[in-house]
Every structure is written in C-alpha cells, then in structure tokens.
Amino acid sequence: MKPLHFIKNVHGTTVDLLGHAIISGRYAIGASLPPEPLLCEELGVSRTVVREAVKSLVAKGLIITGPKLGTRVLPEDQWNWFDPDVITWQSQNGLTPEFLKDLQDLRRVVEPAAVRMAAERATPQDVAEIEIAYAGMKKAVEEGGDYVTFDLRFHQGLMRASHNRMLIQMSKALGALLRTSFEISTSKQDGPKSSLPMHRAVLDAVAAQQPVIAEKAILKLIDGARDDIHMILGSRKRLPKIARPASQLKAA
C-alpha cells in the first residue's frame, strides 16, 4: 500500500494539471473533459485519483458534473476567484488587465473599511505584529530579501486588527490576490522603497487610533499600487507571475 503522503501528492498534482488545463483554455468553456479512462491514461493515475480531483475542481467552481451531463467546464464568472489555486493557475497562464482591474476594485472596497475598523479596535499586540511585518519590509528594502511575504503579512495584520470575523476570513482568501498585486509593485524599480513611507503612514494612523487618517492613507497606498500596475501594462512589459517562493529584492 502506498503511503498517505504519496497519495496526497498524486492528488494535488492531478488537480494542478487539470485546473491549469481548464484555465489555460485547453478545455474550453462548456466543453466536456475527456472520459475518465482517457484521463487516467493521460495523467498516469487511477480512477480514484481522477474522481477525487474532479470533486476538488467542482468545489473550486471550475467544472460541473452530473448524470447525462458529463463533466463540463463552467464559465469564468462561476470560478472561485478567492481560491489560491485558481489565482495561481491564472497567474501561470498570464494575468489579464481585466483580472487586475477586478483586483484593484476589490481592494478599494474592502481594505479601507477594514483599516478604519483596525484604527478603532487594534490592540497593542495587533500593532506590534504589524510593526514586525513593516520591519521585515524595511529590512528587505535596505538589505535585500523577501519583501512580498512581509508586505502580505502587513496587510493581513491590518485585516486581523479589524476584529471582524468575516473580514479576517476574507483576508485569508484575499492572500493570493494581494500577493499578485505585490509581485507587480515589487517588479517596478524602487517600487518597494517608495511605498515604505505610505505603509508607515497607515501603521502610524492605526497605532494612534485615527480611523479617518488611516483610511485615507490606505487609499493612497492602494491607488499607488494601481498606478504601478497601469505603468507596467502601458510599458508592454511581461506581467510577473506568482513565484514560489516570493521574489527577492537585491540589497540597496
């Protein structure tokens, strides 16, 4: 009998291959996936693995399956865009301007409200955790290293400091989406360095319990990220993909 970790790895790899094939358009919207025996042969896995992978993709909103229906690819508006795997597959296939616009719209709706609450409700421990994330960002700018991960911790720390359970859950779901934006901003020359003062302004306002100032500061930060994205789109540079691990900054 194969060990459990091996079975899990095979399952994960199968989900990854099929998910990427759907998002890349290999299996078109409304089209049926190949019959189960053909998928087993193509992927080199058992029927059990294929069936479990199909269940995972159904849960992610990519496909629907049923009697007389078969297994069909659903339209993009039914895909679960809060699922980290879906975001990663989209990134691997190439980010689109429409996807990035949706991301910026979402940030502008959710983050200012969360930061305003954080300024009203953050505990000293909340502020200390955000300070640690900011220190990691600052160190990465000055000495080189992983800026994106600390940037993500900073923003998720703000969401947690809102002490709103739904926003905290959303911050977990938004993680891959936010990382997409941070990877793009980081690819701009001096992008992280120029954004540090804006992050500092948000943190200072939250620590000082100034919700109006905190909200304005996070909007300035979000709009700065939007401008970075527009600049990269306008330059016709290739959009960065979500790297694993996060891309590293070089020492200043």
Domains in the chain, CATH or no CATH each: 4-78 (1.10.10.10), 84-249 (1.20.120.530)
- For the whole prediction, is pTM greater than 0.85? no
Helix (H) or strand (E) holding 180: helix 165-187
Mean pLDDT of 45-70: 94
Q: What is the model's pLDDT at position 1?
A: 46
Which residue spans within the chain are E strands per DSSP?
63-66, 70-73, 145-146, 248-249
User: Which comes out higher in pLDDT, residue 143 or 8?
Assistant: 143
Tell me the per-residue pLDDT of 192-230, one tens digit each, with 9 for 90 and over.
888 999 999 999 999 999 999 999 999 999 998 888 777
Q: C-alpha distances in angstroms, 186 versus 62, 151, 179, 218, 249?
A: 30, 10, 10, 17, 8
